[in-house]
Structure 1
Amino acid sequence: MFSFELLHNDRSCRARRGRLHTPHGAIETPIFMPVGTHGALKAMTPAQVEETGAQIILSNTYHLHLKPGESLVKKAGGLHRFMNWDKPILTDSGGFQVFSLPKKKITESGVFFRHEHTGEEIFLGPKEAMQIENDLGADIIMAFDECIPYPSSHDYAKKSIHKTLRWANSCLEAHGRSDQALFGIVQGSVYEDLRRECAEQLTAMDFPGYAIGGVSVGEGLELLKQVVDYTEPFLPSNKPRYLMGVGLPEDILESIERGMDMFDCVIPTRYARSATAFTSRGKLRLTNRNYRRDFFPVDPACDCYCCRNFTRAYLHHLFNANEILSATLMAIHNVHFYLNMVKQAREAIEQNCYIDFKNDFLGEYGFFEKK
């Protein structure tokens, strides 16, 4: 039910073009996965999400466990039916959310934390995470890991990866559905030796896919590139590689160059709600007075529903009037921008010109001067 085809390697770098096959359809890689934390992308209907070119979306195990609960989702026929999305879905394990909570107790078997609404004590470990994800029924599910903050000491990071490895093995043993692909997660903070150790031991467990975690916790782009640079060589070339929680266009494009296939982040919809648009010439803040009489599309180079039908002046008005439509139109545009960006990346890889594409894109975007 799940397989990965490596279709082409760019001759100029490690960028690669692939295809994931899942029970709910194929996914062309490199791909960006919009995030629907509670089983919905904020301010967007499933039809609008699909129109942006989305091939797979991500939902959050921790939040769905708290509300409405995985048993209700299972009774509804699984997450696909519950949210009326018939394309692939990925659920994370909840590890990042749990470890970001202010009051939690980490043990060798899992984590104790308090329900954010009721105050009830909850325990989440690898077996519990697998049960929740099996009940939710996503196509791709993630192993329960420890996501440590940046910076962390080498000693703490070493103890942490050994815990993550034990939990990964427990997840494999507890995983009960053959129609779901379970991915392992490489941790190790910014330490090259720990990333290598974690990757080598996880690949020996033979997961159908692998993720690099713990790289969107404040380390910055240069350290992100370093971590991917010295982790990617130890990930199997015949399996998908997922860089978790990454994020900005420059982060994604630099990581595609380094051999990564899958990305997710809340940034496109989160920035949309604060009137920030991603465009081919950089970010625009549409509440700025400069756009009050600007009758150009948000991005003249974009063919999304928002840019085909509305102007910057109209979006400026909607945000100032606090109209809900402002968030919807901006989210449509931002998600489309990300998906079009990775589509262009796939085309460039096929033509063996990814480095030129990346440099031209980021040059126009304003990230750096074109070479």
Structure 2
Amino acid sequence: MAALQFELHHTDTGSRARAGRITTDHGQIETPIFMPVGTAGTVKAVTKQQLKQEVKAEIILGNTYHLYLRPGLEVLEKAGGLHKFNGWNAPILTDSGGYQVFSLAGTRKIKEEGVTFQSHIDGSKHLFTPEAVMDIERTIGGDIMMAFDECPPGGSDYQYARTSMELTHRWLDRCFARFTGTEDKYGYTQNLFPIVQGGTFRDLRKQSCEYISSKEATGNAIGGLSVGEPTEVMYEICEWCCEHLPASKPRYLMGVGTPWNILECIGMGVDMFDCVMPTRNGRNAMLFTANGVINIDNKKWEFDFSPIDDTIGCDTSSYYSKAYLRHLMKSKEILGYTIASVHNLAFYLWLVKEARAHILAGDFTGWKNEMVIRMQQRL
């Protein structure tokens, strides 16, 4: 058992893009990395075998709010944690449930103690405190646990953003007190990442970066972005945070985003990403490729019997045709959702691996600039 380790292998000469390696007790992760979101203990419509063999995922996420409500902590504890429950023997990151709780704006109340909220399942009332969330995440069993924070809306004014950030910092103190006062649950090391907040205000973000860096955690996260602010502002704040977070620790940008968002933020020094977009958009007929975005519902694909994408090393993307996938989507066949989700996830993982290769080769910036333009085209 050992705490998470981060090795920095190379930094791009024309940007802050980094190639590195994270080592956990459940295995290694080559960075930059994209982490598929497994909200309720599963990446929607995708099997573990597909995640490993076709998507080539190295780490997945579990959601504290959803797993706490269903199947519940008793089931997870008796199973031996989420790894054994869902059969995933590689690293898992658990979010704190904060974003889900705060998105329940009509049914939750924020206090110093924590947040009371109503279950979206049965309306029952619950209280998430920093201490309770640490205990819940211990029981779920993530290799990386996220601190409990408040995520302010994208348009928050300065006073709200500052008050929210200060509450997040007080909660962070309580998270670390509980985390350090409890033991790893299932015989492997769990790691706690704090989260930078501060809205869209540079001085607050700098203050938050300095505060969470003082915890000397094994990694740090940037939260509260891609929540409604303009893309240019998201990039500005992301770059600002990367400048003020330690280079010796992995940086995780939470909930971002499109393939072009990810490449731009890799160029700013981010190492880890997650987003529901590949699976959610896939289930709604949007496919991402290196040459642009496909709406597979469009009639233009009706007689296109070429592979979805035979360049990314994914059997599903190479085997099935665009015309067949369109037929499945039009017919609302479940297989269509699986094919589209597997393809999009495989594309995201291919993209970050390509980014790593270009960082190591020393030509990341030129490649990134070309790819950002190509990927945004509508095909």
Shorter-chain-normalised TM-score: which range? Answer: over 0.9
Is 1:126 the equivalent of 2:130? yes
Q: How many residues align?
A: 368
Deviation at 1:367, TM superposition (A): 5.4
CA deviations on 1:272-312 (whole Å, 9 max, x unpaired) are 11111111111111111111111111124333122221111
Name the CA distance, whole Å, in 1 between partners of 2:157 and 2:374.
Answer: 39
Instruction: After TM superposition, list the pairs within 5 Å mapping 1:110-125 onto structure 2.
Output: 110-125=114-129
CA distance, structure 1, for counterparts of residue 280 and residue 91 of structure 2 = 22
Cα distance, 1:220 vs. partner? 2.7
2:139 matched to 1:135?
A: yes
Per the alignment, residue 333 of structure 2 pairs with: 323
Write out per-residue CA displacement over residues 73-131 of structure 1, whole angstroms, 9 at most, x where no aligned residue. Answer: 01101100000000100000000000110221100111011122222211001001000
Indicate conservation of the 8 Å contact 1:78/1:136, yes or no: yes
1:36 aligns with 2:38: yes
Partner of 1:161: 165
Q: Is the 8 A contact 2:288 2:375 kept in 1?
A: no
CA distances 1:127-181 after superposition (whole Å, capped 9, x unpaired): 0100000001110000000001010110111111111011111111111235101
Query: Measured at CA, do residues 367 and 9 of structure 1 come closer, stay the same or move farther in structure 2, by a change above 3 Å?
Result: farther
- Return the match for 1:149 from 150, 153, 161: 153
TM-score using structure 1 length: 0.97
In 1, are the aligned partners of 2:260 and 2:376 still within 8 Å (CA)?
A: no
Report what 1:278 is aligned to. 288
SS of alignment partner, residue 194 of structure 2: strand
| Counterpart Cα distance in 1 of 2:362 and 2:201 | 32
- Kindly provide the amino acid, as one letter, of the partner of residue 326 in structure 1: G
1:54 aligns with 2:57: yes
Residues 177 and 252 of structure 1, relative CA distance in 2, 3 Å threshold: farther
Mapped contact 2:219–2:251 kept (Cα < 8 A): yes
Answering whether residue 251 of structure 2 is matched by residue 241 of structure 1, we say yes
In the alignment, structure 2 segments of 5+ residues that lack a partner are: none
Instruction: State the SS of the aligned residue for 1:165.
Output: helix
Give the aligned residue type for 2:16.
R
Deviation at 1:357, TM superposition (A): 1.3
Superposed CA offset, 1:6-28 (max 9, x none): 11111111001110000100000
The equivalent of 2:365 in structure 1 is 355
- In the superposition, the TM-score normalised over structure 2's length comes to 0.95
Task: Say which of 252, 267, 272 aligns to 1:257.
Answer: 267
- 1:76 is aligned to 79
Pairwise mapping of residues 193-208 of structure 1 onto structure 2 (< 5 A)? 193-208=203-218
- Measure, in 1, the Cα distance between the counterparts of 2:102 and 2:66: 13
> Identity, % of aligned pairs?
46
Give, in whole Å, the separation in 2 of the partners of 1:7 and 1:302. Answer: 24
Give the one of 351, 355, 359 matched to 1:341.
Answer: 351
Matched, 1:86 2:89: yes
Aligned to 1:307: 317
Cα distance in 1 for residues equivalent to 2:137 and 2:246: 25
What is the rounded CA distance, in whole Å, between the counterparts of 2:301 and 2:318 in structure 1? 17
SS in 2 for 1:105: strand
Q: Aligned partner of 1:316: which letter? A: R
Equivalence for 1:185: 195
Q: Secondary structure at the match of 2:123?
A: coil
Amino acid at match of 2:287: A
What is the letter of the counterpart of residue 339 of structure 1?
Answer: L
User: 5+ unaligned residues in a row in structure 1: which ranges?
Assistant: none
Code of the aligned partner of 2:224: G
The separation in 2 between residues aligned to 1:115 and 1:282, in whole angstroms, is 39
